[in-house]
Structure 1
Amino acid sequence: MTKKLLIFDFDGTLIDSVPDLASVANIMLTQLGKPTYPIHTIKEWVGNGARALVERALSGSIEVDNSLSIAEIEAAERLFYNAYEAHDTSKTTSYPDVDQGLRQLKDAGFTLALVTNKPIRFVPKILESLGWTPLFSMVLGGDSLPVKKPDPAPLLHVCETLNFKPAQAIMIGDSINDISAGKQAGIDTVGLSYGYNYGKDIRDSNPNQTFDHFAELLNWLLK
């Protein structure tokens, strides 16, 4: 494998955080006196960051209600953040083979980076709880820069900061946001089919490679 920089998405790629995100979204909705939703519905709203999840929850749909005011959205977002900070995130777990796999990749000489649309304030706690903090050379959240995925800027920022050319990197993720960002950055992309992609097959986004299990990705990278 000539590629040496692996840029990973977080939610839906390395961790299954939907159980906790759904709980927190429903806490927010309950506080607002609005209807709550089952986990399988909320799962399809995850992937564009906290603000988008809040907007979709308020709308009860992946299509955001245009009548929502900025003040209403921001008030709900504050409730969401407060609930998430107070929430026990023990239901957020790594997918099969990810924990050992990340360590194998690090030991094999790959440089690992994390680029997520999750607000950065929530990322270190999860990384620490999983014991992954030392594994990543760089971590960006959805609000670390002025833009987030699918904009290519976070990926290009990682490459520049860690002194890699885009051609030396791979973007690994579960949604169209990851694949689109990678393509626009001139970075090869890998799609993982088990995550959160708004109910759509990641293969429809035409990544360079697609795998159904993290173990298959590992075998491909380490061959």
Structure 2
Amino acid sequence: MTELEKWFAGQPELMMFDLDGTLVDSVADVAAAVDRMRREMNLPEPGLDKVRNWVGRGAEALLDKVMADCPGQPALRQEAGERFACAYSEAVHVHSRLFEGVDAALKLFATWCPLVCITNKPWRYTQPLLASLGIDERFALILAGDSLLHKKPHALPVLHTLHHFGVQPQRALMVGDSRNDVIAAHAAGVRCIALTWGYNHGEPIEDCSPDWIVDAFADLL
């Protein structure tokens, strides 16, 4: 008997998924856009390894990290935001790919219950990325980082989803790769499964106290 069968006496009634670092390995395209923006501004490029630890909190938080070496310069920060938006919009799916097992898992999970994508990525990038990967129609609801007043780690996106589908917290499940996912889920009374291959801002996922840690989507089946 799997953990899911123990928790739900069968299957959950609602499954929520993070996007970047959970379903999709997207950091290469984000890093490329960051590097292009910095290069156009004659600033040093941080590169993939640094950007990997900065993603997951939304575009504004990413820019805070990217432009931390230029404090107190609002005009420069605005220019950076505009240049990044242009660069990433033009190349949101060049190197990004689904993690192994995601496609098959989503197909199966969709036969169990409604699936929801809850991401801190702005809608202008979220929808094109999901569509280009061919998984946008798997989700009954997609909440981007700018869809509601608050984003993860606030509980609002999870609470909104529970209310939308009329599902009790104990019958729902969150799947993510970072502290933000665990905090948001637990604040709403929802169990959270954490994946070991995500970004999590450079922190070990074990430190975030998820309800279950898995090494592959196949472990959930």
> Is TM-score (shorter-chain normalized) higher than 0.5?
yes
Letter in 1 for 2:103: D
Per the alignment, residue 104 of structure 1 pairs with 108
Alignment pair present for 1:54 and 2:63: yes
Distance in 1 (CA, whole Å) between partners of 2:115 and 2:212 is 18
Q: In the alignment, what sits opposite 1:87?
A: 91
* CA distance in structure 1 between the partners assigned to 2:158 and 2:192 by the alignment: 12
Distance in structure 1 (CA, Å) of the matches to 2:15 and 2:113: 7
State the aligned residue count. Answer: 212
Structure-2 residue corresponding to 1:140: 143
Amino acid aligned to 1:19: A
Matched, 1:73 2:82: no
* Residue 157 (str. 1) matches residue 171 (str. 2): no
User: 1-side partners of 2:78 and 2:193: how far apart?
Assistant: 34
Whole-Å separation in 1 of the counterparts to 2:171 and 2:164:
13
Could you say what secondary structure the match of 1:167 adopts?
helix
Match of 1:25 in 2: 34
**1:88 shift after superposition:** 5.5
The CA deviation string for residues 101-157 of structure 1, in whole angstroms up to 9 with x for no partner, is 1001112x2210000000011111111112212210100000111111000001100
The equivalent of 1:186 in structure 2 is 189
1:116 matched residue in structure 2: 119
Unaligned runs of 5+ in 2: none
Counterpart AA for 1:139: I
Structure 1 stretches of 5 or more lacking a match? none
Partner residue in 2 for 1:204: 207
CA distance in 2, matches of 1:175, 1:19: 18
Q: Secondary structure at 1:47's aligned position in 2?
A: coil
Q: Equivalent residue of 1:160, what SS?
A: helix
Q: Tell me the C-alpha RMSD between the 2 structures.
A: 1.4
Question: Residue 132 of structure 2 aligns with which residue?
Answer: 129
Aligned residues with identical type, % of pairs: 35
Counterparts of 1:180 and 1:88 in 2: how far apart (Å)? 27
**Contact 2:15–2:114 at 8 Å: present in 1 too?**
yes
TM-score, reference length from structure 2: 0.91
Q: How far off its partner does 1:210 sit?
A: 0.6
Q: Give TM-score scaled by structure 1 length.
A: 0.91
Aligned in 2, Cα 1:38/1:6: closer, same or farther, shift over 3 Å? same
SS of equivalent to 1:79: helix
1:4 equivalenced with 2:32 (yes/no): no
Q: Report SS of the residue matched to 2:173.
A: strand
Query: Structure 1 residue 90: deviation in Å?
Result: 2.3
- Asked whether the 8 Å contact 2:194–2:210 carries over to 1, the reply is yes
Q: Which amino acid aligns with 2:98?
A: S
Q: Secondary structure at the match of 1:118?
A: coil
- Give the letter for the 2:76 counterpart: E
